[in-house]
Every structure is written in C-alpha cells, then in structure tokens.
Chain A
Amino acid sequence: MEKARHHITSKTILIHLILIVGALAMVFPFIWMLLTSLKTYAESIHVPPVIVPKHFQWVNYKDVFDLLPFFKFMFNTLIITVIRTIGQLLLCSLAAYAFARIEFPGRNILFLIALSVLMVPGQVFLLPQYMIMVKLGWLNTLQAVVVPGLFSAFGTFLLRQFFMGLPKELEEAARLDGCNHFQIYWKIMLPLAKPGLVALGIFTTLWSWNELMWPMIVNSSPESMTLSVGLSSLQGQYLTNYPVLMAGSFLAILPMLILFMILQKQFIEGIAVTGSK
C-alpha cells in the first residue's frame, strides 16, 4: 500500500505548524540565554529590551571563570559522572545477572529487599547519608557524591529485566564448555544486554550531571562543587547580574549539549528503553 510519502496535505501542514510552534517554545529560552550572556548589564535591563547586543560581551564569560573555578566544576562533574556511570553499570549488572540467572537461597527475598529501596523517596536517605559523610570526613570531597551513587536498585532492576529475557540455552552451552558464572556473565550476557546497558548508562550520566540537592549538601567548597551547585553559588555572588548568570548557565550546559548532539540517537533510545521496561 504505497501512499505518496511526500504528499503535502493540509493535515501535514497543520501537524508541522503545531510541531514548529512547540519546537520554538522549546528552543527559544536557550537562544535568549545565549543572547543575554553577551550583553552588558545596562543593555540587559534596558526597556524596551535589546535583542542583539551591540558588542558581544565575551568579558561576561571571563567574569564567570574569574570568580569561580568553572573548569574545576566541570572537571569534578565529569569525574563524578564517569565513575558513577561505569560503577553502576558494573555493579548493577553483576547483581542483576545473579538475580536473573542463578538460583540461590534467598534470591527472591534479597531482591525484594533491594527493590524496596525503589519505593522510598530520596529524602529519607539524605540525612543519614550526610551523617555518614561527616563521620568519614568526606565532606567536600568527590567521593561523597560518587560513592552512594554507585549502588542503584533501579539499575539492578532494569538490567535484571534484560537478563531475564535472554535464552537459557546460551548459558547451558557455555556451562558444558566449562565456563563459570563470571565468564558467562562477562563474555556472553553482557554483550547481549547492550541496549539495557546503554539505557542505564545514559540515564545515570544525565542524572549525575544535573543533580543538585545532594552535591549541594555535601560539597559547599568551590574546590569540590559540581556544575549545578556552582551555578547556584554563582547566583549568590552575582545576585541578579543576569548577563553573567546567563554566561555561567550556558557554560554549565554546554558539555552535555555537545555530548547530546553527538549521541542523540543513543540518548533518546536509552530513555525510551527505561520507560518501556
């Protein structure tokens, strides 16, 4: 049944119209952010608004770096994100494999216990986690942010779903060849669960990069702040000097923006997968 694919009907035009309006609404704030970041303070509070600044004030960006160690923020956020993501992928997949493919006493109970974490709102963990960090002397360190995030009930659950869907024959065949569970996990199961791993990876990356509350609570020294926290502290220093604030915001989202542009497909598919499972 071959319909002319590029047949432009009024229906198509209407669809595009709605989509374009929505897309503009989505993108416009970013454009405004960029434009404002290049204005002088006077230009930004001028009424009627100055749309395009007369001279691009790149100095605003310099101000951001002068006051706060933005590169350090980016570096911190990068380290935290990478280690958390790799850590979760490794630890959650290990546990997920065991829960999915090995029969052992207490399997169901332990899994249910792990799952109960999912039903608890994050705030319930915050205070005690914070006290742990205080006792360990880990305040204002990167590990304070990284370590609790290495363990995820959600990730374990997600990957378990994936592992359960793989055929048992693969395992039996490998067993006959004399492989132990770890080798089966590493050589066979993991590669097959790639969509799940990608999904979890994207999800964890996004969440780590954008997280605000926990990093803010444990890391209030500029040395150890992440980008989100750095932005909020920029607000404290610059009050309402919007051009500089916008410059800071733009810098903060730039890395993820670039990453997203490169890996669009993976991002979107990854999120879709987490939803459907």
Chain B
Amino acid sequence: MKEMPLQVEVKPKSKLKIPSLSKTRKRSDYFWAYCMIAPTMIGLTIFYLWPIIQTIYFSFTEWGAFGQYEWTGLDNYRRMLEDSNLLQSFKNTGIYIVFTVPIGIFLSILIAVLLNQKIKGKSVYRTLYFLPVITMPAAIAMVWRWLYNSDYGLLNYLLSIFGIKGPQWVSDPKIALYSIIVVAIWSGLGYNMVIFLSGLQGIPRSYYEAAEIDGAGPVKVFFKITLPLLSPVIFFVTIMSFIGAFQVFDLIFMMIGKSSTALENTQSIVYLFYQHAFVLNDKGYAAAIAVLLLIIILIITAIQMVLQKKWVHYD
C-alpha cells in the first residue's frame, strides 16, 4: 500500500525511445486503452459511482409501501440525532472495534512470530489456523450459537463442572456483544496471521544476525527490530481491520435473533441499516445511515493518510 492513490505517477521515460512517436501509434494506444478500461469503468459507474449519488439523494426522501417515495429534505438527518437506537448501535460498533481490532492483531502477530521460528509442522499449524477464515460467517455463527447456548451448550457445561453457573452468552444484553467479539477474533485470526507471516518473512535475516552478534535477547529483538520493520504491515492490517469491523453485520445477524433481548445492545450500525432498508422499509432513513457511514469512513481514511506519514517506518 505504499503507492497510495494520491501519488501521481511520473511518466516513465522509455529506454528505447523511438525518435518520432507516430500519431497512428498514439491513436492506437488510446483506442486500446479506452477499450480495455471500458468494461470495468462502465460497470463501476453503473453499479458503484452512480449509486453513491443515488444513495445521497435517497437520504433526503421517505419511503412508503411498495416502493413509493417522496422528498423530505433533512428530516432523516434530524431523526438520526434523536434516534437512541442509532446512538446505541454506534456504541455497540465502537465497543466491537475497540476489542476486536487490537486483541485480534496482537494475537495474530503473536502466532505469526511463533510460526516464524524454527519449528516443525509449520504448514499444519498454518492450515489449522486458517480454517475459520475459509468458513462462511453463517456457519460460524451457527456453531458458536450452539456452543454458547445457555442451557444445552458445551461452554456452560464445562463451566458447570467447575461449579460455575455460566451466563447467557448470547441472550444477556450485557454480555452478548463480547461473546460475538470472541467469535470475531477467532474467525479473523488466521487471515491477519498469514499477512503478518508474509511480512515477517520479508524482514532480511541480516538484521537478526546483527542483533544476535550484539547479544540482544528475543524480547529486545522483537521490540527494536521486528515491530518497527513490521510497522507498514501492522498499519495496513489495522486500517483494514478497523474498516472491516466498522461494517460488521453477518455475525450479529446470524447470532442474535430478532426477538432477542440482547438485540439493542448488539446491533451494529450496518445491522440497523439493514433493518431500516429491508425489514422496516424505511429506505430513506437507511440511506441516511449509509451516508453517515460514508462520511465517517472518509474521515478515518483521511486520518490514516496523515498518520501514515508520521508513524510508519519505511527503509
């Protein structure tokens, strides 16, 4: 991600420069270029770029039954300010991010570092850790809901052996979100681990060898060499995880039932969007929520670009 979009590419000078770049060649170039980008650009415009404008438009409307809508100006935005459900969903999403991202990254780095050592069976471990990543969130949610079941789930049974009465992992409003966070960390670990592993392998051995000669212990090596050199990757993963966590939906949708008492305390912003858009048929309001999400992510991206210059080491 070094070449971030804002960097304008300098025209490379061709080494074998042909004295006169003929007009026909240029025209042929342009023809091919436009043809080649056409499918993607047209597709992106129809399905992505134009929809951005449409969503912004819809955010100023209110929808009735069966697809009729009318302009209502800033009503939806005013409503957002008073919507306690929305505020709560922000809190929920915030808690989700605060726990999932740092803990997840820490664990992934840990496992990646361990796997980077000289040990046997690396590929077996890698495969096992990657299993949750290739599993669909719908299935993951199902099996974890079952493990978490208050009366018949395995987790509470194991706790009962030690005389502890297990809580209602997915029904207790105070705990449900954290139960989901555990599942999120569990299922994302392998993905980040693989990226970190590849990053670790990109660190030249010479650094480690030099440190060894200097007599540095493993902890010092980790903090003074590994971490700094890994920082571009850590930065990238953090941002991606953050943005991903911000948009959490699948897990919550599958693990928390519509009539569950824990719903208000676990709804994410995107879940609320889905509710309003496709269950309550409140599409205008949903569009407003989407616009809100857009603004927030743009701000985060801007912050990211500033931070990147300050914090990330490049050699």
Q: Do chains A and B touch in the complex (CB under 8 A)?
A: yes
User: Given the interface contacts A15-B114, A212-B137, A227-B136, does A123 sit within 8 Å of B290 by beta carbon?
Assistant: yes
Q: Mark B276-315, 1 if CB is under 8 A from A, else 0.
A: 0110000100110111011001100100000000000000
Which of A54-62, A63-71, A113-121 is near enough to bind chain B? A113-121
User: Given the interface contacts A95-B40, A213-B250, does A26 sit within 8 Å of B128 by beta carbon?
Assistant: yes
User: Given the interface contacts A110-B41, A172-B16, A257-B134, does A47 sit within 8 Å of B151 by beta carbon?
Assistant: yes
CB <8 Å contact, A232 and B254? yes
CB <8 Å contact, A91 and B186? no
Rounded to whole angstroms, the CA-CA distance of A269 and B123 in the bound complex is 12
Tell me if B233 is interfacial: C-beta within 8 Å of chain A. Answer: yes
User: Given the interface contacts A49-B154, A245-B146, does A22 sit within 8 Å of B36 by beta carbon?
Assistant: no
User: Given the interface contacts A104-B30, A124-B291, A151-B48, does A95 sit within 8 Å of B37 by beta carbon?
Assistant: yes
Rounded to whole angstroms, the CA-CA distance of A191 and B136 in the bound complex is 31
Rounded to whole angstroms, the CA-CA distance of A45 and B142 in the bound complex is 16
Q: What residue of chain B has the Cβ atom nearest to residue A25's Cβ?
A: B186
Q: What residue of chain A has the Cβ atom nearest to residue B113's Cβ?
A: A15
Q: Give chain B residues whose Cβ lies under 8 Å from the Cβ of A277.
A: 1
Contact-residue bracket for chain A: 35 or more
Q: Give chain A residues whose Cβ lies under 8 Å from the Cβ of B80.
A: none
Tell me if A83 is interfacial: C-beta within 8 Å of chain B. Answer: no
Q: What residue of chain B has the Cβ atom nearest to residue A105's Cβ?
A: B30
Q: What residue of chain A has the Cβ atom nearest to residue B195's Cβ?
A: A275
Contact of B191 among A132, A176, A231, A271 (CB under 8 A): A271
CB <8 Å contact, A120 and B36? no
Rounded to whole angstroms, the CA-CA distance of A92 and B39 in the bound complex is 9
User: Given the interface contacts A26-B128, A132-B47, does A253 sit within 8 Å of B136 by beta carbon?
Assistant: yes
CB <8 Å contact, A127 and B37? no
Q: What residue of chain B has the Cβ atom nearest to residue A98's Cβ?
A: B36
* Residues of chain B in range 206-248 having any CB-CB distance to chain A below 8 Å: 209, 233, 236-237, 243, 246-247
User: Given the interface contacts A95-B40, A112-B5, A275-B233, does A169 sit within 8 Å of B152 by beta carbon?
Assistant: no
Tell me if B131 is interfacial: C-beta within 8 Å of chain A. Answer: yes
Rounded to whole angstroms, the CA-CA distance of A134 and B121 in the bound complex is 52
User: Given the interface contacts A30-B131, A115-B5, A232-B254, does A120 sit within 8 Å of B297 by beta carbon?
Assistant: yes
Q: What residue of chain B has the Cβ atom nearest to residue A155's Cβ?
A: B40
- Smallest Cβ distance from B31 to chain A, in angstroms? 9
Q: Give chain B residues whose Cβ lies under 8 Å from the Cβ of A268.
A: 126, 130, 194
Q: Mark B115-155, 1 if CB is under 8 A from A, else 0.
A: 10111110101111111111111111011101101011010
- Smallest Cβ distance from A187 to chain B, in angstroms? 14
CB <8 Å contact, A147 and B47? yes
Rounded to whole angstroms, the CA-CA distance of A246 and B138 in the bound complex is 11
* Residues of chain B in range 26-65 having any CB-CB distance to chain A below 8 Å: 28-30, 32-34, 36-37, 39-41, 43-44, 46-52, 54-55, 58
Q: What residue of chain B has the Cβ atom nearest to residue A18's Cβ?
A: B114
Among A169, A248, A272, find the residue whose CB has the most chain B CB atoms closer than 10 A.
Answer: A272
Q: Give chain A residues whose Cβ lies under 8 Å from the Cβ of B301.
A: 119
CB <8 Å contact, A121 and B8? no
CB <8 Å contact, B119 and A16? yes
* Residues of chain A in range 55-112 having any CB-CB distance to chain B below 8 Å: 91-92, 94-95, 97-99, 102-105, 107-108, 110-112
Among A25, A29, A99, A169, find the residue whose CB has the most chain B CB atoms closer than 10 A.
Answer: A29
Q: Give chain B residues whose Cβ lies under 8 Å from the Cβ of A227.
A: 136, 138
Rounded to whole angstroms, the CA-CA distance of A153 and B40 in the bound complex is 8
* Residues of chain B in range 139-194 having any CB-CB distance to chain A below 8 Å: 139-140, 142-144, 146-147, 149, 151-152, 154, 157, 186, 189-191, 194
CB <8 Å contact, B142 and A235? yes
CB <8 Å contact, A123 and B50? no
- Smallest Cβ distance from B280 to chain A, in angstroms? 13
* Residues of chain A in range 1-49 having any CB-CB distance to chain B below 8 Å: 1, 3, 5-6, 12, 15-16, 18-19, 22-23, 25-27, 29-30, 32-33, 36, 44-49
Tell me if A193 is interfacial: C-beta within 8 Å of chain B. Answer: no
CB <8 Å contact, A124 and B247? no
Rounded to whole angstroms, the CA-CA distance of A122 and B123 in the bound complex is 34
Tell me if B202 is interfacial: C-beta within 8 Å of chain A. Answer: yes
CB <8 Å contact, A210 and B157? no
Q: Mark B1-41, 1 if CB is under 8 A from A, else 0.
A: 10101001101101110000000000011101110110111
Tell me if B97 is interfacial: C-beta within 8 Å of chain A. Answer: no
* Residues of chain A in range 237-269 having any CB-CB distance to chain B below 8 Å: 242, 245-246, 248-250, 252-253, 256-257, 260-261, 264, 267-269
Known: A18-B110, A33-B139. 9 other contacts (CB 8 A): A3-B118, A91-B43, A98-B37, A123-B293, A124-B55, A151-B44, A213-B253, A267-B134, A275-B198
